Amino acid sequence: MKHQAEPSYRHDQAEHTAVLWVNLGTPDAATAPALRRYLAEFLSDPRVVEIPRLVWLPILHGIILRLRPAKSAAKYATVWTEQGSPLAVWTRAQAHRLAEAFAQAGRGALRVLPAMRYGQPSVARQLDALKAEGATRVLILPAYPQYSATTTASVFDAVYAWAGRQRRLPELRFVNQYHDDPAYIEALARRLEAHWAEHGRPDRLVLSFHGVPERTLTLGDPYHCQCLKTARLLGERLGLPPEQLLTTFQSRFGKAKWLEPYTEPTLVALGQQGIGRVDVFCPGFVADCLETLEEIAQEARHAFLEAGGKVFHHVPCLNADPAWIEALAGIASRHLQGWPDGPAPEPAERAARCTRALARGAKA
């Protein structure tokens, strides 16, 4: 593939600082062909599936990509919106609200773009866009509060791959994790308190995090410990006794042992024990997506009620909650320290940028 030559450096070009807000990704449609493209990219990442390529790729292309896309497409269809995938909708909204928060703080020169590790808009595409606009300093901010090699490190891999193709690199900074950030914990607590103010409190609160293979823990991945710390801090902030709070892991894939306890079997056991109402909240997901809206709000709900439970609530993710956007702005600001924002855009230029950003979002 031919790469277009980079334009000559302009000595009078103003320097800018930008934030790239990166989430996992999503297919561009709830169809089998779209899922096949998305899963091929996602499951080909050696950070995601740590099986030797010679063993894994024949399984992926010979079995999984033949059978799974249609099943996954049917699941996506149950949560798809007129604007597209919920994850894409919320990720764009979060980037827009973060830019607004910076502008309200007098930092309107900061650019914020959303990106997806898999699918579109890709990390490379958005970094190209920022560089074309004159960004010389970029903060990479993953939408993963808890660090994992399967997620956070994979985002960094995509940035490094893009960087390897550039002659003039921007300065780069990376946010590794914010699992114990006080403002993040406060935003989680407020989300739950708002739900309980409207619906009352449950008999049990289940905090469900995305699972990873157990071997990642023994290999040195801090994800498990960081999930437990988030849960502990949130429980302490809410004043919940330990017996009312359970931490579980969802989305197991394959036959290997993953982090335990698993979410759905835990909910089945609670239903069988006669627990009347459970609320399930997913602190590791900052935007509602297939894993929260279908796996939890539909499948887990059904499993709990079938096992004898009476009432099941899925508590929405942080999404674009003002407390969360405030927390995110604080996290980004700490990592931006020492970097000038860049020249403030004129009002007309700022309006034009907003129009371009909305247009890009509509096409993404």
Q: Positive or negative CA dihedral for 17, 174, 316, 238?
A: negative
CATH number for the segment(s) 182-314: 3.40.50.1400
Integer Cα distance of 13 and 17 in angstroms: 13
210 annotated as a binding-site residue: yes
Specify the length of the chain in residues: 364
Mean pLDDT of all residues in 94-108: 97
Is it the case that residue 364 has pLDDT exceeding 50? Answer: no
Alpha-carbon distance values, 19 to 7, 95, 328 (Å): 23, 9, 11
Integer Cα distance of 124 and 115 in angstroms: 9
- Is 240 within 8 Å of 202 (Cβ atoms)? no
Integer Cα distance of 29 and 80 in angstroms: 8
Q: What is the model's pLDDT at position 256?
A: 87
Mean pLDDT of all residues in 236-265: 95
pLDDT in tens, 118-171: 999 999 999 999 999 999 999 999 999 999 999 999 999 999 999 999 999 999
**Strands across the sheet with 16-25, in order?**
111-118, 16-25, 135-142, 171-174
Quickly count helices (H) and strands (E) in the chain: 14, 8
Is it the case that residue 92 has pLDDT exceeding 80? Answer: yes
Q: What is the mean pLDDT of the chain?
A: 93
- Is 230 within 8 Å of 284 (Cβ atoms)? yes
pTM: predicted TM-score of the whole model, two decimal places:
0.91
Tell me, rounded to whole angstroms, the distance of Cα 358 from its chain centroid.
20
What percentage of the chain has pLDDT greater than the value 90?
A: 88
In sequence order, which residues have a C-beta less than 8 Å from that of residue 145 and are 6 or more positions away? 177, 178, 179, 181, 184, 226, 230, 283, 284, 286
Integer Cα distance of 232 and 252 in angstroms: 23
Alpha-carbon distance values, 128 to 88, 111, 256, 337, 343 (Å): 20, 13, 39, 24, 20
pLDDT in tens, 188-197: 999 999 999 9
Q: Name the pLDDT band for 3 (thresholds 50, 70, 90).
A: low
Q: Please report which helix (H) or strand (E) contains residue 280, including its range.
A: strand 277-281
pLDDT in tens, 304-363: 999 999 999 999 999 999 999 999 999 999 999 999 998 765 554 554 554 455 455 444
Q: Kindly state the tokens that stand for 354.
A: 């907003």
Integer Cα distance of 12 and 28 in angstroms: 39
Q: What is the model's pLDDT at position 352?
A: 54
Concatenated DSSP letters of 21-61: EEEEE--SSSSHHHHHHHHHHHHT-TTT--S-HHHHHHHII
291 annotated as a binding-site residue: yes
- The dihedrals phi and psi of 257, each to the nearest 5 degrees, come to -75, 130
Integer Cα distance of 100 and 118 in angstroms: 26
Domain ranges of the chain: 31-79, 182-314
Q: What is the model's pLDDT at position 255?
A: 82
Q: What is the model's pLDDT at position 8?
A: 55
